[in-house]
Structure 1
Amino acid sequence: MTRIAIMSDVHGNFEALKEVLADMDRQSVDAAYCLGDMIGYGPQPQECVDLLRGRGVECSMGNHEQGLINIHYLRGFNQPAADMLRRTREMISEETYEWLTSRPKSIVAHGCRFVHGLPPDSITEYLWKYRDEMAGIFARYAEDVCFVGHTHDLGRYTSLRGKVARHALPEGETVLEDGVRHLVNIGAVGQPRDGNNRAKYGVLDLGSRILTMRFVPYDIKKTADLIIAHGFHRGFADRLW
């Protein structure tokens, strides 16, 4: 049976990504997807991109990748985040820049949709802004299961005969019931904001439809120290804890 890994928001956190990929190897997955924001906030963007590409992870575009190419959009970032993206551009190769800025806005595979912000293909909209309009969101795309990132948080919505319900997404196993549509906010590898500082990703068994959320510890201090050593905004380091 096919097992796929889903991650998002690596944000240049090489230590977190290494541990997630090592854990992923132990789960015997057949394919892996990253829902954008490979860069930004973190101190090792080039290393993260090299690792994702080397491992064959399929990646869609996030708003931080878009910020590299759209100066008008970049102006909407808060100043520390915008400054960090400008520094990030200096830290990555031209070839990496071209790869990052050519990522698709969404990916459809295995009967699932993968998108950074909001289906069908928004890389900038936040899911939480549409909590009272979720029936309309489900109507925008055809797949039974959609994974999103962007908020750095965890959660799940279901839709059955037009009735939408909201659910928590805890560590461990969650059955994505057949005959029900699911919209899953998969959390963040590089800068979680769900109250737990471990790196988050999910493994979906397509046969049993069991989604297993993996909470992976990593060397936070090493990443935080590197952020500060590079002279980046200290808030990016503090937020990891």
Structure 2
Amino acid sequence: MLGTIAGDIIGSAWEGSGEKRYDFPLFTEFSRYTDDTVMTIAIAVAVLDRRDYTEVMREIGARHPFAGYGRRFHDWLLSPDMPPPDSYGNGGAMRMSAIGLAAVSEAEALAQAQGAAAPSHGHPEGIRGAQAVALAVFLARSGASKDHIRQSISSRFGYNLERTVAGIRPHYTFSVAAERSVPEAILSFLDAGDYESTVRNAVSLGGDADTMACIAGGIAEAYWGGVPASIAEEARSRLPEEFIAVVDRFYERYPLAARDADYAGSTPAEPEHSRIGKSQSIATRAEPRLDAAGAMPLRPIADAREYRLVTERLVRQLTADVAAAALVRELERVLRYEIEHGVPDDTRLASRLLARPRKRARRTALISDIHGNHAGLLAALEDIEKRHCDRILCLGDLVDGGPENERVIETMQRLRVPCVRGNHDETNDLELAETSRRFLLGLPEYIIEDDVLYIHISPRPRKRKINHAVEAWNVFEESDFRLLFIGHVHVPMIFGERSDTYGEAAPHPFEYNRPFAFSRDERYIISIGAIGYGRDDVGRIRYAIYDAEAHAVELRAIDGPLLPHDHTLGGCTLEFS
């Protein structure tokens, strides 16, 4: 499990780069989990809860819609009536580690692999790749030698595993086809001496780096009984609590015994009669996940570790806000009373809040990239006040650039402006108060409201700046939102999905301070500009007003103080930033 996930995270920063280095940094600021991890978690949940694979993949995938799925798989994921795509890609193979770790026999591993892959990768090559990975993980976990694994996979699936990574690397080219990536991923394990060298081998081939490292890492974890503690810790730090809870629950039921003190294994336990289930098919339906009011029920905190993670996150979010801290004290009083006096669940405060319908904002002012320009922020707020907006949202980068970072944070907290986290909020060399640092790190990565997404850079796993038509097209291909509002670019832009040029989105012209009406049957990406400084010659503060009722956006340009900046350093290039 964690070997698969860590491989995905490590490879994510190098996917499609063509980089063939072996000595690359394992983790960078761009390293994050992708669809490979999301689907690995989904299969693990299906195994743990004895549920239908398709159902769980769609359920968990819908909660993480911007993980970098291919377009056909994304459509299948969100379309219950869509027939299986019968893909021959490696997407079925990359999610097989839980199958191999839980199976009690080769036959079970092969049967369950087919069942878990077929919903989306039913082509014979897709099935073959998935079964090969599941069997390799099962054999590695069962103590088989590398020679035995090599022979078993080669004889059963016809893969050429007599090659070496060094021999493949110079001529290998990117491919998502299972027959051109799964054997190479398995070879990356067979040709390695430990977990880290396995993942480095897979990434160094310069192909589908995240998926190949994901596959190879899952086999390596099973073989060596775990993941090096330092890698495991770094990978876990980049996962949502939901995924960490699944990983911990999986290891509790299907433990691995580490073969080396440097590996993060788990305590052995007595095996079950069938580690997956009582039959060759996991097809039991899940119980309804909504309560009587139509809201998601509260999931109890599983253990002391999850309690610590949840409370640490809340401390980061609430410490710097005096009003919020006072509200927490009031909530604690209410909760104590409810517990001590046995207030029924359906009348408790939390249930009443969850069942209460949300009030929709009509006019939303969107600001971004303040970069410590407090005077510019005040100018924007003054203009916003005249525009009869219902609320303000900030799309990140509150700090780093201007001299008044603390004042910007203080103003945003005082006005209770919801913010997403920008790259400068997360990583900077500023001397900030500890409460300010916690506030910034506690900000969410994105906000989703129905089919509208607010995010700083991009919903794609590899965060590329959306400042040109090619990258906008890529985002449309991998996402399913109706509107996407972004910061980071510092220059207002509007891209539409409909285009006469394949591989490029359609740039739309607009006029400042006049509404741009969205077509009801088209999707759009809107870069809203910046408060801190621009990256062009306009020389004005810029932000946006989204009118949900009128289905329009107004890109505002107003006079006000800007930070000095050489805009030639940030033009519309195909940069990776």
Q: Distance in 2 between matches of 1:127 and 1:161?
A: 16
- Candidates 486, 492, 504, aligned match of 1:154: 492
1:1-241 alignment, distance < 5 Å: 2-68=362-428, 86=429, 88=430, 90=431, 92-109=432-449, 111-120=451-460, 124-128=463-467, 131-160=469-498, 164-172=505-513, 173-220=515-562, 237=564, 239=566
Contact 1:154 1:168 in 2 (8 A): no
Contact 2:472 2:525 in 1 (8 A): no
TM-score (norm 1): 0.77
Contact 2:484 2:526 in 1 (8 A): yes
Structure with the bigger RCO (C-alpha within 8 Å, sep 6+) is 1
Offset, 1:188: 0.6
Contact 1:191 1:239 in 2 (8 A): no
Name the count of aligned residue pairs.
203
Distance 1:37 1:238, change over 3 A: closer
User: CA RMSD, aligned part only?
Assistant: 2.2
Offset, 1:194: 2.9
Q: Which of these two proteins has the greater Rg computed from alpha carbons?
A: 2
Cα deviations across residues 50-89 of structure 1 (Å, max 9, x unaligned)?
1112112111111101214xxxxxxxxxxxxxxxxx2x2x
Q: Distance in 2 between matches of 1:146 and 1:238?
A: 27
TM-score (norm 2): 0.33
For the residue of structure 1 that corresponds to 2:381, the secondary structure is helix
For the residue of structure 1 that corresponds to 2:370, the secondary structure is coil
Which structure features the higher share of helix residues? 2
For structure 1, the residue ranges without an aligned partner over 5 or more in a row are 69-85, 225-236
Q: Distance in 2 between matches of 1:51 and 1:197?
A: 24
For the residue of structure 1 that corresponds to 2:470, the secondary structure is coil
Contact 1:115 1:121 in 2 (8 A): no
Offset, 1:176: 1.6
Q: Distance in 1 between matches of 2:540 and 2:450?
A: 28
Distance 1:49 1:169, change over 3 A: farther
Between stretches 16-25 and 111-120, larger displacement belongs to 111-120
Q: Distance in 2 between matches of 1:134 and 1:105?
A: 19
